[in-house]
Every structure is written in structure tokens, then in C-alpha cells.
Amino acid sequence: MINTKFINIDPDNIDMEKLKIAADILKNGGTVAFPTETVYGLGANALCEEAVKKIFKAKGRPSDNPLIVHVSKLEDINELVLEISEKAQIVMEKFWPGPITLIFKKSDIVPKIVTGGLDTVAIRLPSHPIARKLIKLSGVPVAAPSANLSGKPSPTKEKHVTHDLMGRVDAIVCGGDTEVGVESTVLDLTSNVPMILRPGGITKEDLQEVIGKVETDPAILSKVESNLVPKSPGMKYTHYSPNAEVILVDGRIEEVVKVINKVKKEKECEGYKVGVMATEETKDKYFGENIISLGSRKDLKTVAANLFKVLREFDEKRVDIVLAETFEEVGIGQAIMNRLMKAAGYNVIHA
């Protein structure tokens, strides 16, 4: 059991002395959870193998699941990668700092434990002021997956991190709620045509506007084989799952509402406690209790920002089953559906 330090920082008025306490922990091989614009991350010195091992231990994370290396400025990536293509340069100039991770061929100084044994490294330059300043103060690149127990919904609030990792990490920097709410887009730039390995806040449409053709890995919305060697976090293992069983209901929204009400009634008659993940347009059409809205279908950014928070709310309500509506797979809707599919273990009812 680790005596976890809590460091409260106002992102609009950063106390650099308090932040230096967290930075020194990173510099000296410890683990620190901290806010980014996507979700909270759990960081350690990416160039220190012993420090990185502590991330896997704290999360209970499989060792072949690659980590993302976070830097505080563009120049920091030069020592971490072998080359930077023209398309990579364009994406970095357009979208960094921001919620996109780029995959490059790694240099020898990046330990294999960070990359899941691969010869590539995933790198991100976050836009959150606390994250940027923390990394800069530490003086090291910071490997950081989401700050949750492996497989659970990613943390978008301080209390989520505390629930999962108190006593498991050296420090938690509390800096308020995150903004995007789903993890960064992961773009592989090592092939001829750039490929999205994980959808996120920067969409395929955003990328195609600046670099032309972009492909999407088929594994994003489908179940992958157990022998897959994951090139990106979130590709292989069950992720984002609350304690409850999650079932998606897909189809025309009018039919979806009917099916969810029918299944909810049946399951409750069997003695289960059932929750419904609804939207503003449908929340009043469901019967009974434990109906939570993600937001309006007209504002999918808000839906994405609320997704993990709502999954955790169902845990707090101790529901047994969550019935969830689906969303159109365009723009950030693809990221929402990727996370929902993973949370549900691809369990879908077609209305």
C-alpha cells in the first residue's frame, strides 16, 4: 500500500511550487496521475524501465499493451523517433498540442516495455496546461495510459482516479474535470497511408482535410483475435467496462426505445436492476428508474465528454445491466461507438 499524495492545482492559476512536488516524483522514478484534456493519465518516466513497470503494476495492465509517451513541446520528440515524415509534420503543426497520438518508428532510447515490444512508439503533446507544465518541470518524457484500473471506464473526474488508484500510486494531481472525455485519436504514420488505430477527439474527417487519404483499422468497431499484437492502446483487451453488463441496442431510435423498454421490464421482472443510457431526446420515453442522459444527439462532443462519467454513475447506482442507445459512426460518433462496443464486449441487440 502506497501513501498517495493529493496535490490540488487550479488549471487557471497553476501553483508551480505545488506542481514541482509532482514533477520531482516523476523525475525520481515515481508514478503520478494527472489531468489531460482527454482523460486523466497515470504517468512515469518513459525512459526508466523500473518506473514504467510501476504503471503496469498499479493498473493491473497487460504488459503487451503499449503506452503513450507524452511530451511538453514539439522538439522533445526528436530523440524518441527515427524519422518524422512530411505528413507527420503537417499533423503535428495542425493538431498539436491536442488530443491526437502519432505512431513513429522508435529510437533506441525508448525502452521496449513502453512500446509493448514493438519497434514503434506512440507520442502525444497534450494541450492541458497542468499536463504540459508537469511534463516540462519533470524534465523527462512521460509514459501515461489512462489513470484507471485496467479494463474499467477511463477517469474524467478526480474522484474516478481516487476510487481506482488511491494507495496504488505516489501522487494524484487533482485539476478538475477533463474536457474531451474520450482518449486521444491514435494515428499510425509508419505505413504508406496513415491509419487510425483508435478514434478520438480528432476525427478522420479532420485529418483528411489536411493530409488526404486516411484509413481506419477494421478492429476499431469489431472484435479482434486474441493473438493480435496491439499497435495501440485499446486495440486488444476489454476496455471501458463498468461492473454492470452493458448491452447496446441498435436501429431506428423509435424502435430502439421500444426494445429497451421491453428488455428493461423483462430483466427487472427477473430481479435485475437495470439502467438505461439515454439521450436528451429519449430520456422521458423510458419507464422506471436509473435513466441517465448522455446529452443531446445534436451535440456528440457532449455525449463523448459524458460517456465514461455516466458508465461510472451506473456503478455507483449498483445496476446489474446497462441498456445503451447507439450513435451514428461519423465524426466523434466513431469514437463513442468504439468505446461503447468495447464496454459491451460487442453485445448488440438489433431493434
Question: What is the per-residue pLDDT for 229?
Answer: 52
Closest CA to 50 of 3, 109, 114, 1: 114
According to the annotation, is 198 in a ligand binding site? yes
Point out the least confidently predicted range of 14-18, 143-147, 191-195: 191-195
154 known ligand binder: yes
Helix (H, G, I), strand (E, B) or coil at 273: coil
Does pTM top 0.85 for this prediction? Answer: yes
**Beta-ladder partners of 82:** none
All three cell numbers of 283: 430520456
The verdict on whether residue 144 carries a ligand-binding annotation is: yes
Q: Is 148 annotated as a binding residue?
A: no
Closest-CA residue to 144 (of 195, 215, 68, 206):
68
Does 65 appear as a known binding residue? Answer: yes
Q: Does the pLDDT value for residue 227 go beyond 70?
A: no
The cell numbers describing 294, all together, are 448522455
How many CB atoms lie under 10 A from the CB of residue 152?
Answer: 24
Averaged over 29-52, what is the pLDDT?
98
Per the annotation, does 8 bind a ligand?
no
DSSP track, 276-316: EEE-TTTGGGS-SS-EEE---TT-HHHHHHHHHHHHHHHHH
Does 240 count as an annotated binding residue? yes
Domains annotated on the chain, with CATH: 5-221 (3.90.870.10), 245-350 (3.40.50.11030)
Residue 120 labeled ligand binder: yes
> Does residue 9 register a pLDDT over 90?
yes
Residue 71 pLDDT > 60, yes or no?
yes
